[in-house]
Amino acid sequence: MRALLVVNPAATTTSARTRDVLIHALASEMKLEAVTTEYRGHARDLARQAADSDEIDLVVALGGDGTVNEVVNGLLHRGPDPESLPRLAVVPGGSTNVFARALGLPNDAVEATGALLDALREERERTVGLGLAAGTPGTEDGAVPSRWFTFCAGLGFDAGVVGRVEQQRERGRRSTHALYLRQVVRQFLDEPHRRHGTITLERPGADPVTDLVLSIICNTAPWTFLGNRPVYAAPKASFDTGLDVLALSRMSTASVARYATQLLTSSPERGPQGKHAVSLHDLTDFTLHSKVPLPLQMDGDHLGLRTSVTFTGVRRALRVIV
């Protein structure tokens, strides 16, 4: 087997020595080329080259969810073709690793490498669905190119939190769960639209859902992890269906306390519910419009401000080693 290993040297939970051990373990089982990323977008460029080549059977992403997202976007730069494209494997090296854990992989890089090698020997793989987001044609964001996401996206409040965390990391702060929680509080205190939302959700064959403050799009469950605790914003979301949405039309102090408690106690059987909560399951196509520019995030990566984004749930988009 010919494989490309894409290594993020800034991965927060692996050391240089650990990465060397993992590379040697993988190289003992396959013809491996290991490349260390040098700039933002490098993982995407490497995966694009692998997708266009007839010489690569497998691309392994060693890093966090951001590295995985770049690799996926590189592999799918011409669109889905599961039977022809290289397969994807993930060795988690980030602080949260939602995609890898949602696939059932160990959260430890060494254990995950062992599980990956076992899966390759036993030829275990699955074809997963993914989300695709693009600027809405006919709007001021119409020229924004499409981008794939593996587990979640968000327009509004949660994307604002992601942006704040990225700012803190650029200042040298470590990416920890405590850092995220602090930025959630600060985003809430500074949120100008928490009582009168600016987002409208439109989908074919249904009335628009208006005045939303927060919109979380999930491609799988759980939505995220707080340490080892899984958090289910959309418990029915799955790699085998379309996209799920959790939206809130109000974020008063009382309602935020209620929904935050529901998220912390959520389970595969029950997510947030209430008068101001909107839950939609298995959507293929929908659009989020906002009266004002709002932050957009995908797979925990802040992508700037948008006023209109069209989402598509694409079933059976990519083969993944599990």
237 pairs with which residues across the strands? none
At 3-17, the pLDDT tens digits run: 999 999 988 888 889
Q: What is the pLDDT of residue 166?
A: 82
3 state SS of 27: helix
Q: Using 50, 70 and 90 to split pLDDT, how confident is the model at 286?
A: very high
What is the pTM (predicted TM-score) of this model? 0.93
Banded pLDDT at 299 (limits 50, 70, 90): very high
How many CB atoms are closer than 10 A to CB 258? 16
pLDDT in tens, 137-169: 999 999 999 999 999 999 998 899 889 888 887
pLDDT band at 269 (very low <50, low <70, confident <90, very high): very high
Query: Which of 66-75, 169-178, 194-203 shows the lowest mean pLDDT across its residues?
Result: 169-178
pLDDT at residue 49 greater than cutoff 80: yes
Query: In the chain, pLDDT over 70 holds for what percent of residues?
Result: 99
CB 50 within 8 A of CB 38: no
Least confident of 128-132, 182-186, 197-201, 292-296: 182-186
The residue ranking higher by pLDDT, 256 or 91, is: 91
Q: What is the pLDDT of residue 317?
A: 98
pLDDT in tens, 76-111: 999 999 999 999 999 999 888 999 999 999 999 999
What is the average pLDDT value for the chain, to the nearest integer?
A: 93
Buried b / exposed e over 84-98, threshold 16 CB at 10 Å, is: ebbbbbbbbbbbbbb
Exposure class string for 203-226: b at 16+ Cβ within 10 A, else e: beeeeebebbbbbbbbbbbbbbbe
Closest CA to 130 of 15, 242, 9: 242
The answer on pLDDT for 66 being more than 90 is yes
Q: Residue 266 pLDDT more than 80? A: yes
Q: Model confidence at 176, in pLDDT bands (50, 70, 90)? A: confident
3-state secondary structure 84-139: CCCEEEEEECCCCCHHHHHCCCCCCHHHHHHHHHHHHHHCCEEEEEEEEEEECCCC
pLDDT at 242: 98
What pLDDT score does 152 carry? 97
- Give percent above pLDDT 90 in the chain: 80
